[in-house]
């Protein structure tokens, strides 16, 4: 299998991320597939006990608060643990509590390239119970409909501020007629 490197292209309006993964339905998923709407990109793993569930729940509530305008936004949950997070595992994890998110996974090399493209830190390390955890960057990257980075939100940002900023982006896009 040939793995194309994920990359970030810098332009006047930020960066454009390129990655080649597959979604939790098994379909190919590259950055171009999500053009035309906003993408909220969060890196994590399904065995995460605190950060990922908290961040995904917050983002899910914000997206749901958009009502019918939620169709203008796609949540993307890119695993940092492709050993355990197969498409089936991601689908099961996201389906019940985070329906506005699409899980993305791939080979170790593809995930490493995606992490590099977004400058995400993640490092597998042992836990006391003999398993492993994957501490990682906890930032939501907001890609505009053209694929450029238009905002980013640290995990510490409040739900109300995130909702306000996302609403402003979607409103601006809708009023621009694109």
The sign one gets for the Cα dihedral 137, 75, 14, 161 is: negative
Give the predicted TM-score (pTM) of the model: 0.88
The H or E element that residue 64 is part of is helix 51-64
Secondary element (H or E) of residue 85: none
- Going by C-alpha positions, the residue among 54, 52, 75, 78 that lies closest to residue 63 is 75
Angle, CA of 51, 52 and 57, to the nearest 5°: 105
- What structural domains and CATH numbers belong to the chain? 8-176 (3.40.30.10)
Answer whether residue 9 shows pLDDT above 60: no
Average pLDDT, the chain: 88
Confidence of residue 18 (pLDDT cuts 50, 70, 90): confident
Model confidence at 57, pLDDT cuts 50, 70, 90, reads very high
Provide the pLDDT confidence category of residue 7 given band limits of 50, 70 and 90: very low
* Percentage, residues of the chain above pLDDT 70: 89
Closest of 147, 129, 152, 118 to residue 43, by C-alpha: 118
| pLDDT > 90: percent of the chain | 66
């Amino acid at each position: 299998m040939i793995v194309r490197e994920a990359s970030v292209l810098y332009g006047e309006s930020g960066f454009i991320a390129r990655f080649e993964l597959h979604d939790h339905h098994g379909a190919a998923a590259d950055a171009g597939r999500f053009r035309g709407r906003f993408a909220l990109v969060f890196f994590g793993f399904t065995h995460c006990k605190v950060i990922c569930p908290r961040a995904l729940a917050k983002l899910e509530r914000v997206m749901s608060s958009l009502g019918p305008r939620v169709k203008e936004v796609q949540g993307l949950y890119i695993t940092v643990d492709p050993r355990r997070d197969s498409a089936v595992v991601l689908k099961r994890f996201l389906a019940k509590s985070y329906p506005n998110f699409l899980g993305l996974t791939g080979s170790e090399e593809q995930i490493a390239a995606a992490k590099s493209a977004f400058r995400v830190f993640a490092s597998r390390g042992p836990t006391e119970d003999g398993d492993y955890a994957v501490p990682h960057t906890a930032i939501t990257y907001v890609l505009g409909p053209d694929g450029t980075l238009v905002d980013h939100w640290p995990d510490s940002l409040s739900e109300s501020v995130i909702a306000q900023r996302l609403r402003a982006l979607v409103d601006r896009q809708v009023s621009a007629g694109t």
